[in-house]
Structure 1
Amino acid sequence: MFGLIIGIDKYESDGIRDLKGCKGDAQSVVDFLSHKFHIRSSHFLRLADERATRSAIIDGFQNHLINNSNIEHGDVVVVFYAGHGSRALAPQGWIADNKKVETVCPHDERTIGHDGKEIFGIPDRTIGGLLRKLSFIKGDNITMILDSCHSGGSTRTLKVARRAENASPLPEELDKDIWMWGLPPIAAPNFPTGFLDKTMSSHILLAACRHDEEAYEDPKAEVIRGAFTHCLIGLLYQEDLTRITYSQLFDLLPRLEQQHPQCDGKNRGRTLFNGASGARPTTFRLTAHGDAYRTNVGSIHGVIKGTVFAIHTQGTITSDETELGILEADYVDAFTCTLRRRSEDTYFTIPSGARALVLNWRQDQSLLKVFIDPSRDEVQPTEHNFALVNSPDSADLIVRRIDCSTFQFNRLDPFIHKWAPMLNDVKLSPDLPRVLQGISHFHYHLYRRNSASPLKQNVEVVLRRLRRIEDTDETMYMPDGKFDMPLFLDRENTVFIPNASTVSYSSDRVFYGLTLTNKSGRNLFPYLVYFDPSDYSIQSWYHPPAATMAAPLAAHSALPVGYGEANIDALEFSLADGVTSDVGFLRLFVSTTYVDLTVLEQSSPFLSARGGKKEKPPRVDVWDVWTFVLRTVETGADIRPSS
């Protein structure tokens, strides 16, 4: 592990207010990493106050990290910055949000250098270029932590914001050799802006607040620290870092007043300071309310009155301890529910920080009815999950055994039967009861809806064919402008793909993206979930990256999915060998508040086992969902439309 750790309390320019907690923040990061990982002090470059000049910070990136022969590809790299952030007027040739560029403020910003020229802040694109080069040479196991802010708002009372105002406009050629590294000349006008506005594959960014908020330190505290760094380091000392992911860590982070910390980057699902993925069941935080508990899972997730939750200690997120006991959903609203103890259960103590895991979706009104031919004694119905029936006439699913490990599935429920009625020659490695539980999960989440339909389908979805932007070191796709297909709810939406025998794997593959357009007056969080009836898997095609982020699909705006940024996942349609047509179901959930819908996802169950005072009236939170049928057809195939 290697680190570049920067903390600036003292600024040379009288135009930038001094701070008090940044050097302490930086030291707390070094102390934590040294204690947890026993890192040699020589592996850290610490820059503070007068040592943290503009040239020293950039040189630290280049010589201590990028050109350091002691750092091998894949080694952990941590970059920490605590100090002022700012926003500067973007040069004429730069594309920027509201014509402003986000910067970090070195010690000597707004002073005159030895060459007689003004010293500027370090813009986001310069930091991005340094991290992109570092990732290319040393690997993408990079964590950057920013405890600063970049908004232009005024400082709130009692607390000191880490934000410097009135930054000088930046020269157009500033650091161009750095931020253009690895990019073609044509990329310059469309360079992405903002520390928090990128889908980054080069690094994971942990930031103290949204780009339009402020990061605070409390000058009245006994030991002054940044609110974000203080909470983050305290939590890191408590957790088992070998198994918790960045996203899970931020879910555990205590709520901060007036600021919303952000966890950004394509690899936020990795375990901390590790290149490995850390997938595990989705759990939800519990908060006590008298003799009941509340958790952030509600009707949008599929919870109804009686849904059963297993309660785990906070430690079970990162260890294999047993569950504490069971709670049951009593009152359910759109995004939360109240949990109570069941009268027949033995009392158990629920500690602070406990988590809730959905144990049973209680599908009473839409219970999957299964007929097995011939009947099998080892298959028993599961309460609130699936039922066995004695006649195929009353079944939603007929399971026929062809031989000892091969089965046929005849789907009779109205929706799937219309589009994909039969599934033949299914090879099952696990036991059939577990497969039926997975199929039941698939059916339940495919069929459920919000009967109120509050948004009246005010979101449009367009499937767009993409082309690769040439001459870039990093893969980037944009719409080709020749194929844009609006998706409709009342019919299948057909995507034709080339014959597999004529496609070169490297050059002729066709990729797609989606554009979501919000025509409502509400800011929305969209979720794209793909249900594949060929294997009953449920995949997330788009999920907002963080609970603390602003709504990504703002009112009267559009959101690109699968294109427009480097190294993000586009969509590719394919068919199994010998298959000329296939169908899947794309569900678009939308909500007015962030929710964690990863609990819906599942791998194919066919595979062996791989979550009285005045107050403003509360706003009415809503959610809605629509289902699009996508048929993939090989060009030239004779496919008759479904009746």
Structure 2
Amino acid sequence: MSAPSDIEDHSTQKDVLNSIHNRIAELQRWKIRSGTTGPDEQVCRLCIDSVTFVNRLARLYALLIGVDKYASESIRDLVGAVADAEKVQAFLRAQTPPISGERLELLTNEQATASKIIHRIRRLRTNESIRRGDPILIYYAGHGSMIPKPDGWPSAESHMQCLSPHDARVSGRTVEGVVLDVTFGALLQALAKEKGNNITVILDCCHSGSGTREDDRVPRGLEFKTEDGETDLTVDVSYQKDIWDSDDAARGLFLLPQFANSGLQSHIVLSACGPTQSAFENSRTHEGHFTSAFLRTIEESGMGTTMTYSELMDRLETKPLPWQTPQCEGRDKDTRLLFDKGVVQRNRPCYSIFRDGLTYTLDAGEVHGVSKDASFAVYANRHAFTSGGPSFGELVVDKAHPVTSSLLPVEGLVWSLPEDVSDAVAVMTRAGSRSAFRVHIDTGKYPKLHVAVEALAKEVCEPTNRDYSWISLAITSKEEAQVSLELTADDTDVVFEILDEQIRALGLQRLNGTVPCDESSLRSALRSAAHFFYHLRSSPQEVNLGLAVSARVRVLRKSVELQSGIPMPVYLPVGDSTCVQNDKVFYPEMPRHRRGRGMHRTLYAVDVFNKSPKGGYSLFAWMFYFDCSTLEISSYYEPPTGDVKPPLPAAMEHAIPLNFGDAGARPLTFSLPAGQSIDVGFIRIFVSTHNSDLSGIAQKSVIEQCRAAVTENPSDWTYQPEMWGAVTIPVVQR
């Protein structure tokens, strides 16, 4: 009598596990029949295989929703929403290892009614295959809407957002068949209570019904109307109240900003556009612009990169989405890796790790981009990781040193590295509390650039300016770096190639000059570069006050005003203003010669307006210009020091000037540097509820003076302020 043969290959999780369990049962029955005693190595191995297989599979669970067909004849059907949901499904199944079919739910058209969507989200709470802490993805493509809040609802906003799935409709003069933002938020909070704060929401829809169809562009938003054309329709006063007003829902949920719910820790929200914009799909290619750009960005970047959600949004900014600005909200957007631990990424860097008493030492530190609170999964060896094997457990960085780090087990999870494991490696699964300025240095191609490596390492160990030592520096691959260093033909100077995708997309690829190839010059230049990109890309961890202000650029002309009968020169804005915000690029006029009148330069003014209503926050403002050709940061406006009132009060009636009129600052004028056909910079307006000294942000040019040119950085701004935000305006001179 011979033992049963080994199991065959199967493609799905259920088939493999069933085969393993059936195989174990057969072996046990064979042992009984044959009278064999003692432990069976084959049974033990299959038991291990069963556990290993489950651990190998990606833990992400996805609920994907796509709606093209609408039950109401008055609602325009879509053509690409279902295809988008199916593309996301195909993308997840194509990962290595794939997300199994049992962990992918797809609802389309008639399956995707408001009640069925709510039921499926609720069902996730009791799904035993979803462990606490497993990543959960909820994707929706279809129509969205903005409706007035019903009378008597305790909302801080006059309108509310909603998903408008298959059965969205107007019944009489009441909206029905929608999923309200507060309902959605309550469902997510209840889900997070059971399964943990590891939820990602992607919404490829809009909440503005004002979008109009143009050529191939079809908006994914609708406005509810009665047959006689009446608008401003809303839901019944008790609509879905059993969900958002239940004991499970958070008190004060209505005070949260619509679908963003950025004050909650439970989830990250990626949305196709801003709250007043339209999200479009292409009627010819049958795909949503946002979903297409989102998937293309991930595929181009590679799932192997340790990309956070904020870094994903930076890369999305380079994609052609001229009519919509993707949004990302959530308290962990700057530190959570894409899909967190849901899609296991097998080509990320591995670092050696060993046990040192009660702690663990990692052979990677600040120079590698490691920072406090970063999480690492530990594997037996490099092969165990790359082949999809299970990890022993997770560790968290307690302290990052220049080239090593001290780690501790995650609180509440007890495990230890086996003593017989000598080749253990660790892989980052979550970014830490601060990100590093990433530099690529190819010493293979440029051997003399070893001096740059030494300069960077010394700058990490002993910063030239300790006030900025919290801005870490790291050597990374070119794909992940923000700048790359090269040598000039005579090997005497260093060229800084800009790899920041937004700056390159605007047309600038390197600094306008070189840095001497010596340790002192490179240390100060790298520190200044880190300072430049940190303040250019910095964003608040919680509430972004940049959404509370609007900014305009206006042309100025010289004029004369009488002050006490005395003529005084003044600058006055003329013509229409250019409304510029994060999603628009400002192209100033270049100086030009006028016959007999010399060089004419156009002067520009910037003014800002606090959109907060009465009872909102009054704000202070600062304005800087970030010159990407030289890494110079110039200050153009700052509020008075001392105990002064905020210059941007809530419920203000008129915008205030930042660099003309009563502001007393100088107007902006632009010209291309010698030898350049294009120049790129950013006007950055910081706003805060507190008056702080931000003079430390300004710095001199790296090119003109290759030495540290930063002043003392104020501690009350270096670390997280009570509240702040920023408006960023790209400027391209050509």
Query: Is 1:133–1:181's contact at 8 Å kept on the other side of the alignment?
Result: no
C-alpha distance 184-530 of structure 1, shift in aligned 2 (>3 A) = farther
Q: Could you say which residue in structure 2 is the equivalent of 1:520?
A: 655
Partner deviation per Cα, 1:287-307 (whole Å, 9 max, x = no partner): xxxxxxxxxxxxxxxxxxxxx
Give the Å deviation of 1:260: 1.0
Instruction: Say which structure is richer in helix.
Output: 2
1: CA distance between counterparts of 2:208 and 2:438? 33
Q: Could you say which residue in structure 2 is the equivalent of 1:277?
A: 431
User: Given the alignment of the two structures, is residue 316 of structure 1 paired with residue 478 of structure 2, yes or no?
Assistant: yes
Partner deviation per Cα, 1:255-305 (whole Å, 9 max, x = no partner): 312111111111111111117226543579xxxxxxxxxxxxxxxxxxxxx
User: Given the alignment of the two structures, is residue 79 of structure 1 paired with residue 138 of structure 2, yes or no?
Assistant: yes
1:245 to 304, 308, 312: 308
User: Given the alignment of the two structures, is residue 180 of structure 1 paired with residue 250 of structure 2, yes or no?
Assistant: no
User: Given the alignment of the two structures, is residue 28 of structure 1 paired with residue 189 of structure 2, yes or no?
Assistant: no
Query: Is 1:144–1:204's contact at 8 Å kept on the other side of the alignment?
Result: yes
Q: Could you say which residue in structure 1 is the equivalent of 2:374?
A: none
2: CA distance between counterparts of 1:272 and 1:161? 27
C-alpha distance 347-83 of structure 1, shift in aligned 2 (>3 A) = same
Report the count of equivalent residues: 399
User: 3-state SS of the aligned residue for 2:252?
Assistant: helix
Query: Is 1:125–1:193's contact at 8 Å kept on the other side of the alignment?
Result: no
Query: Is 2:134–2:195's contact at 8 Å kept on the other side of the alignment?
Result: yes
User: Given the alignment of the two structures, is residue 57 of structure 1 paired with residue 113 of structure 2, yes or no?
Assistant: no
2: CA distance between counterparts of 1:25 and 1:215? 13
User: Given the alignment of the two structures, is residue 141 of structure 1 paired with residue 198 of structure 2, yes or no?
Assistant: yes
Partner deviation per Cα, 1:428-485 (whole Å, 9 max, x = no partner): xxxxxx9xx69x969x99xxxxxx999899899xxxxxxxxxxxxxxxxx99x9xx99
Map residues 9-48 of structure 1 onto 2, 5 A cutoff: 9-36=68-95, 37-48=97-108
Q: Could you say which residue in structure 2 is the equivalent of 1:151?
A: 208
C-alpha distance 183-220 of structure 1, shift in aligned 2 (>3 A) = same
Partner deviation per Cα, 1:303-359 (whole Å, 9 max, x = no partner): xxxxxxxxx99963548x9935279xxxxxxxxxxxxx9996699999996988999
Q: Could you say which residue in structure 1 is the equivalent of 2:269?
A: 205
**Gapped runs of 5+ residues in structure 1?**
285-311, 328-340, 365-378, 387-433, 446-451, 461-477, 495-512, 543-560, 563-587, 596-617, 621-643
Query: Is 1:530–1:539's contact at 8 Å kept on the other side of the alignment?
Result: no
2: CA distance between counterparts of 1:145 and 1:155? 23
Q: Could you say which residue in structure 2 is the equivalent of 1:541?
A: 720
Q: Could you say which residue in structure 2 is the equivalent of 1:576?
A: none
Paired letter, 1:520? A
Map residues 312-461 of structure 1 onto 2, 5 A cutoff: 316-318=478-480, 323=484, 325=486, 382=521, 385=524
User: 3-state SS of the aligned residue for 1:177?
Assistant: helix
Q: Could you say which residue in structure 2 is the equivalent of 1:465?
A: none
1: CA distance between counterparts of 2:606 and 2:66? 50
Q: Could you say which residue in structure 1 is the equivalent of 2:4?
A: none
User: 3-state SS of the aligned residue for 1:23?
Assistant: helix
Give the Å deviation of 1:216: 0.8
Query: Is 1:209–1:260's contact at 8 Å kept on the other side of the alignment?
Result: yes
Give the Å deviation of 1:238: 2.3
Query: Is 1:7–1:81's contact at 8 Å kept on the other side of the alignment?
Result: yes
Give the Å deviation of 1:240: 3.4
2: CA distance between counterparts of 1:209 and 1:41? 30
Partner deviation per Cα, 1:345-381 (whole Å, 9 max, x = no partner): 699999996988999999x9xxxxxxxxxxxxxx985
Partner deviation per Cα, 1:73-102 (whole Å, 9 max, x = no partner): 211110000001112231112255773221
Between 143-152 and 347-356, report the one with greater CA deviation.
Answer: 347-356
Query: Is 2:486–2:496's contact at 8 Å kept on the other side of the alignment?
Result: yes
User: Given the alignment of the two structures, is residue 229 of structure 1 paired with residue 312 of structure 2, yes or no?
Assistant: no
Give the Å deviation of 1:211: 0.9
Q: Could you say which residue in structure 2 is the equivalent of 1:290?
A: none
1: CA distance between counterparts of 2:716 and 2:510? 19
Q: Could you say which residue in structure 2 is the equivalent of 1:266?
A: 331
2: CA distance between counterparts of 1:322 and 1:619? 20
Query: Is 1:313–1:353's contact at 8 Å kept on the other side of the alignment?
Result: no
User: 3-state SS of the aligned residue for 2:238?
Assistant: coil
1:195 to 259, 263, 266: 259
Partner deviation per Cα, 1:535-563 (whole Å, 9 max, x = no partner): 97962536xxxxxxxxxxxxxxxxxx54x
1: CA distance between counterparts of 2:479 and 2:299? 15
2: CA distance between counterparts of 1:141 and 1:527? 30
Query: Is 1:4–1:45's contact at 8 Å kept on the other side of the alignment?
Result: yes
1: CA distance between counterparts of 2:640 and 2:138? 51
Between 523-532 and 28-37, report the one with greater CA deviation.
Answer: 523-532
Paired letter, 1:69? E
Give the Å deviation of 1:197: 6.6
User: 3-state SS of the aligned residue for 1:323?
Assistant: strand
The two structures have a TM-score, normalised by structure 2, of: 0.45
2: CA distance between counterparts of 1:489 and 1:354? 30
Q: Could you say which residue in structure 1 is the equivalent of 2:149?
A: 90
C-alpha distance 263-326 of structure 1, shift in aligned 2 (>3 A) = farther
C-alpha distance 136-454 of structure 1, shift in aligned 2 (>3 A) = farther
Paired letter, 1:281? A
The two structures have a TM-score, normalised by structure 1, of: 0.51
2: CA distance between counterparts of 1:225 and 1:486? 43
C-alpha distance 384-80 of structure 1, shift in aligned 2 (>3 A) = closer
Paired letter, 2:77? D
Give the Å deviation of 1:40: 1.1
RMSD: 5.4
User: 3-state SS of the aligned residue for 1:128?
Assistant: helix
Give the Å deviation of 1:164: 1.8
User: 3-state SS of the aligned residue for 2:484?
Assistant: coil
**Gapped runs of 5+ residues in structure 2?**
1-59, 226-232, 342-429, 440-473, 536-570, 572-602, 622-637, 659-683, 697-711
C-alpha distance 346-324 of structure 1, shift in aligned 2 (>3 A) = closer
2: CA distance between counterparts of 1:104 and 1:184? 19
Partner deviation per Cα, 1:235-256 (whole Å, 9 max, x = no partner): 1122233501111111112131
Q: Could you say which residue in structure 1 is the equivalent of 2:65?
A: 6
User: 3-state SS of the aligned residue for 1:316?
Assistant: coil
2: CA distance between counterparts of 1:76 and 1:70? 12
Give the Å deviation of 1:201: 2.1
Partner deviation per Cα, 1:182-226 (whole Å, 9 max, x = no partner): 6789636x53342247444221111111111111111123xx100
Q: Could you say which residue in structure 2 is the equivalent of 1:431?
A: none
Tell which has more relative contact order, 1 or 2 (C-alpha 8 A, sep 6+).
1
Query: Is 1:32–1:237's contact at 8 Å kept on the other side of the alignment?
Result: no
Bigger radius of gyration, 1 or 2? 2
Q: Could you say which residue in structure 1 is the equivalent of 2:221?
A: 163
Paired letter, 2:284? K
Give the Å deviation of 1:72: 1.5
User: 3-state SS of the aligned residue for 1:13?
Assistant: coil
Give the Å deviation of 1:230: 0.8
C-alpha distance 485-206 of structure 1, shift in aligned 2 (>3 A) = closer
User: 3-state SS of the aligned residue for 1:135?
Assistant: helix
